[in-house]
Amino acid sequence: MAPAVWSPLCRILWLTCVLPLAPARVAAGLYELNLTMDGPATTGAEVTISATLVAKDNGSLALPPDAHLYRFHWIHTPLVLTGKMEQNLSSTIRVVGNVPGDFPVSVWLTAADCWMCQPVARSFVVLPITESLVGNLVITQNTSLPWPSSYLTKTVLKVAFLLHDPSNFFKTASFLYRWDFGDGTLMVTEDPVVYYNYSIIGTFTVKLKVVAEWEQTKPGATNGGIVQKTGDFSTSLELQETLRGIQVWGPSLIQTFQKMTVTLNFLGSPPLTLCWRLKPECLPLEEGECHPVSVASTAYNLTHTFHDPGDYCFSIRAENVISKTHQYHKIQVWPSTIQPAVFAFPCATLITVMLAFIMYMTLRNAAHQKDMVEVADFDFSPMSDKNPESPSGVRCCCQMCCGPFLLDTPSEYLEIVRENHGLLPPLYKSIKTYTV
């Protein structure tokens, strides 16, 4: 009994080892299978998956001449196969998923008389199956913008729901659409297309709930049940305004060395790119002529201090993702009348302080010399006691009391003091002799 069992087993093992070594009609690794499908799909809907043999070098390699010598092998469990067709080195299957999930589907191509041989090509794909409806929200506007998901305010938007139903699974269903435009507006329609106009700028999220309902008739039953499927969809959009202009608020006449502030109000939606430059004439700014500045609001302040008088023009360019605009602001700069006085005042103060210091030092020196002269006259002059009313004494008193008021300058006063008092008497004098 044992030899009878081992004989078939050995034969199977031998075939398993030998068959993969059988020569294939084409070299493996030179071809590949391109897979296409019309999924994802809802449960119960039919999905079509196709596989086509192609060369890896984009067509320069010739395909096998006889398609009947090859066979496609599919693995699609647990999807239910509803149809299959093969022609011209391509194969198509139709499957249905009854439960939601992501299901892998694989396929490979072998020689028709040797399905255990090495595959000529193989591939796989993942098919998503969901309980809800499948579709997309599409928003269009007559004016196309260069920025993704950007649209204009105060311009009609077309919002449409596109149901994905390649197998006409919902051909007998009726639909109800509940719209939420994100700005507080709600709408219920039976049409998958609506038109809406946003009046303000900002980022909004459009939400849509779709309800599909139809009557399903079971085989052999007179009355079927009502089947319902739903789906929730959403998309974001950014509403912006075109840059209609720039309002400039600021002086048109100013003096040199005076700080000037100009306020710019942009009639459009940020973010903006601002560029400005002072020119002798009001001319548009060329590309690269000034350094751009990013502005995150609709207002901006320019500050500048003019050092030279003359006629100037602020050339301003601003742009957002939608459009751009130019604006100009003329300004006349006059020479400042305050600036010389600002420099003259400290100079005059300095000169006054210096003159006061010189007069103080002069009067101090003069008073010191006068005291020395008086002391000398009192101690050493023999005539001071005998003739107190001498002309020199009167002249000295007059010079002391009235001199500072009669003389024009301290130098003249000092000169007179020197002339009247002269030098101090020497410390020793010759002894006078008297004859009796």
186 or 294, higher pLDDT: 186
Question: Between β-strands 186-189 and 174-180, what pairing exists: parallel, antiparallel or unpaired?
Answer: antiparallel
Average pLDDT, the chain: 77
Give 392's pLDDT tier (boundaries 50, 70, 90).
Answer: very low
pLDDT at site 386: 42
pLDDT at site 378: 43
Summarize the confidence of residues 238-261 as an average pLDDT. Answer: 85
pLDDT at site 298: 82
Calculate helix-pair angle for 410-421, 338-380, nearest 10 degrees. Answer: 10
pLDDT at site 426: 52
209 near 133, Cβ under 8 Å?
no
pLDDT at site 211: 97
CATH tag, 246-336: 2.60.40.2950
pLDDT at site 46: 95
pLDDT higher than 90, residue 106: yes
211 or 307, higher pLDDT: 211
Query: 179-229, pLDDT tens digit by residue?
Result: 999 999 999 999 999 999 998 888 999 999 999 999 877 655 456 688 899
| Tokens describing residue 256 | 């040199």
CA distance 432 to 309: 86
380 or 32, higher pLDDT: 32
Summarize the confidence of residues 390-406 as an average pLDDT. Answer: 42
51 or 389, higher pLDDT: 51
Q: What does the buried/exposed string (b/e) look like for 6-33 if buried means 16 or more CB atoms within 10 Å of the residue's CB?
A: eeeeeeeeeeeeeeeeeeebbeeeebbb
| % of the chain residues with pLDDT over 90 | 30
* Most confident stretch, 142-146, 221-225, 241-245, 365-369: 241-245
pLDDT higher than 80, residue 421: no
pLDDT at site 79: 94
Summarize the confidence of residues 223-238 as an average pLDDT. Answer: 89
**The architecture CATH gives domain 21-130:** Sandwich (2.60)
CA distance 225 to 315: 73
| Cα 226 to chain centroid, rounded | 53
What homologous superfamily does CATH list for 135-240? Immunoglobulins (2.60.40.10)
Q: Where are the domains of the chain?
A: 21-130, 135-240, 246-336, 362-421
Lowest mean pLDDT among 40-54, 60-74, 109-123, 318-332: 60-74
Question: Between β-strands 310-319 and 324-334, what pairing exists: parallel, antiparallel or unpaired?
Answer: antiparallel
Q: How far apart are the first and last CA of the chain?
A: 195
pLDDT at site 402: 42
Place of tokens 């299957």: 93
| Tokens describing residue 34 | 């391109």
31 near 57, Cβ under 8 Å?
no
Give 64's pLDDT tier (boundaries 50, 70, 90).
Answer: low
pLDDT at site 371: 57
Secondary structure string (H, E, C) spanning the chain: CHHHHHHHHHHHHHHHHHHHHCCCCCCCCCEEEEEEECCCEECCCEEEEEEEEEECCCCCCCCCCCHHHEEEEEECCCCEEEEEEEECCEEEEEEECCCCEEEEEEEEEEECCECCCCCCEEEEEEEEEECCCCEEEEEEECCCCCCCCEEECCCCEEEEEEECCCCCCCCCCEEEEEEECCCCCEEEECCCEEEECCCCCEEEEEEEEEEEEEEECCCCCCCCEEEEEEEEEEEEEEEECCCCCEEEECCCEEECCCEEEEEEEECCCCCEEEEEEEECCCCCCCCCCCCCEEECCCEEEEEEECCCCEEEEEEEEEECCCCEEEEEEEEEEECCCHHHHHHHHHHHHHHHHHHHHHHHHHHHHHHHHHHHHHHHHHHHCCHHHHCCCCHHHHHHHHHHHHHHHHCCCHHHHHHHHHHHHCCCCCCCCCCCCCCC
Q: Do domains 135-240 and 246-336 have the same CATH topology?
A: yes
107 or 365, higher pLDDT: 107
pLDDT at site 368: 64
Summarize the confidence of residues 399-412 as an average pLDDT. Answer: 44
pLDDT higher than 80, residue 355: yes
| Tokens describing residue 82 | 């509803």
CA distance 34 to 105: 13
Query: 155-165, pLDDT tens digit by residue?
Result: 899 999 999 99
Summarize the confidence of residues 106-113 as an average pLDDT. Answer: 87
Q: Is the pTM of this model over 0.85?
A: no
